[in-house]
Amino acid sequence: MAGMNDRHRPAAPGTGELHDPITPEESPQHHVSRRPVLLAALLGTGTLAGCSLIPGASSARSASPSAEPATPAPSSAAPSIAAASATPSATASATAGALEGWSLEEKVGQLMMVGVDATSPQAVSTDAVVSHHVGNIFIAGRITAGSQATQKVISTFTSKAGPDTTRSTPMLVATDQEGGEVQVLSGSSFSDLPSAMEQSTQPRDQLEASARTWGKELADVGVNMNLAPVVDLVDIDRPTTNEPIGRWGREYGHDAATVSSQAGAFAEGMRASGVIPTYKHFPGLGRVTANTDTSANVVDSTTTRSTDAAVGVFASAIAAGAQVIMVSSATYALIDPSAPAVFSSTIVTDMLRTEMGFSGVVITDDVSAATQVQGVAAGERAVRAVRAGCDIVLASADPTVAADMVKALIAAAQSDPAFAARVDESAARVLALKGGLQS
């Protein structure tokens, strides 16, 4: 999530609009032709230094990670990612095949992730799965009872993934297990994770080994997705004035090379244990002052669309085979001042997808209770996010809005063939991600 909302606060104190259609000069064809150039420029900032690669991810990786930081030639990374994008006709054919026999309601369910309180799950969370086909859950809150209690809560929900709910498709079971103040699962069988800032001081191979252990602890109780690592670049003069990240030591350092290397080590360890890492919060949440969870009108007035080190960290993650990227709900004045990033096709589709070549799953930051998006009705939040290009809508802090979100997505798809095609595209992408989960 963006920052320290009620689920993450320590006991002591301290803790948009849709934009205009793409202009001809910003058309997808224009972006495709310049994608290798842009990605090379981003990687050329030096953010790939020390970032070795995630086992089992896409072909944009080298055969084996180096133990020492090294900056690959940008020209070699960019074409690999560009080549990974299929032609429109091939993509449409693959999508149709993956979704053959699926109802619209079932497809929409794959685009939602609903919060499940770790200690006392609400009936609305169960209803989201049973009645609305929601295919993914987020374990929220704070649970200190250890692995057995956690596993029981998770299995209660995953057992509902049957022919009448998710077409027997397994769920993505996510949580926030970053370390420091952001650690949902604790107690027996769970390590006490240090903060990202503390993690970043470990030798890279040691951090990767530690993350393998932490990932196995998650996998053992049924968690297969971690909404971490944070790769936001907090490169401001006083990092602690950055409320969502720097104040809590959630960053992996204050320069792009260190963040890429150390966050990459954490991600590799998670992936090696069968847990999907999620890089967040694109295009960077390290330069704002307020927290989108608790404040409205949060604007980044610094980050730019290209050749920005903060964006370059995400380019490094893509080149290393990132499978999931979370999009921020802040507004980026120099990229698209008209809408928060989660509602911006300029940021999600034009920038992240087309220009940077990301072909994995895009998940929103929590849009159920975040103050930043409360000016938009819950159902419309989901529609705007999917229309912008997001694949999974996260409703973690307030699962009561999940039903309205599902209904709005279904209604939009029924009335708009283009939106229905967007739903299909995202549903197929989520199913592909699930197909790579280790049994």
Residue 323 in domain: yes
Cα 209 to Cα 234: distance, rounded to the nearest angstrom? 25
User: Percentage of residues in the chain with pLDDT exceeding 90?
Assistant: 74
Residue 11 in domain: no
pLDDT band at 75 (very low <50, low <70, confident <90, very high): very low
Cα 6 to Cα 117: distance, rounded to the nearest angstrom? 12
User: Percentage of residues in the chain with pLDDT exceeding 70?
Assistant: 78
Residue 98 is predicted with a pLDDT of 87
**Residue 21 pLDDT > 60, yes or no?**
no
pTM of the model: 0.83
What spatial distance separates the first Cα and last Cα of the chain, rounded to whole Å? Answer: 27
pLDDT band at 91 (very low <50, low <70, confident <90, very high): low
- Full DSSP string of 228-251: --B-----SSSGGG-TTTGGGT-S
Question: What's the mean pLDDT in 55-80?
Answer: 32
CB 149 within 8 A of CB 123: no
Residue 130 in domain: yes
Q: Cα–Cα–Cα angle for 305, 239, 177, nearest 5°?
A: 85
Residue 6 in domain: no
3-state secondary structure of 114: strand
The closest of 253, 252, 271 to 212, measured between CA atoms, is: 271
Residue 50 is predicted with a pLDDT of 29
Cα 115 to Cα 378: distance, rounded to the nearest angstrom? 15
Instruction: Centre a 10 Å sphere on the Cβ of residue 124 and count the other Cβ atoms it contains.
Output: 18
- Domain count for the chain: 1
pLDDT per residue as tens digits for the range 164-183: 999 999 999 999 999 999 99
Residue 26 in domain: no
Residue 25 is predicted with a pLDDT of 35
Cα 245 to Cα 313: distance, rounded to the nearest angstrom? 16
pLDDT band at 67 (very low <50, low <70, confident <90, very high): very low
Pairing of strands 336-340, 331-332: antiparallel
Residue whose token pair is 């602890």: 217
pLDDT per residue as tens digits for the range 397-423: 999 999 999 999 999 999 999 999 999
Residue 21 in domain: no
Residue 324 is predicted with a pLDDT of 98
Among 144-158, 203-217, 244-258, which stretch is predicted with the lowest mean pLDDT?
144-158
**Residue 213 pLDDT > 50, yes or no?**
yes
113 beta partners:
394
Indicate which CATH number applies to the domain containing 383: 3.20.20.300
The closest of 160, 99, 93, 91 to 427, measured between CA atoms, is: 99
Domain extent for 178: 31-435
What does the longest C-alpha to C-alpha distance in the chain come to? 58
Cα 320 to Cα 304: distance, rounded to the nearest angstrom? 22
Q: Counting every residue, how long is the chain? A: 439
Q: What are phi and psi of 374, to 5 degrees?
A: -70, -15
Residue 336 is predicted with a pLDDT of 98
Question: What's the mean pLDDT in 10-16?
Answer: 32
3-state secondary structure of 281: strand
3-state secondary structure of 89: helix
Q: Which residue has the higher pLDDT, 237 or 91?
A: 237
Residue 72 in domain: yes
CB 238 within 8 A of CB 230: no
**Residue 83 pLDDT > 70, yes or no?**
no
Q: Which residue has the higher pLDDT, 34 or 49?
A: 34
Residue 2 in domain: no
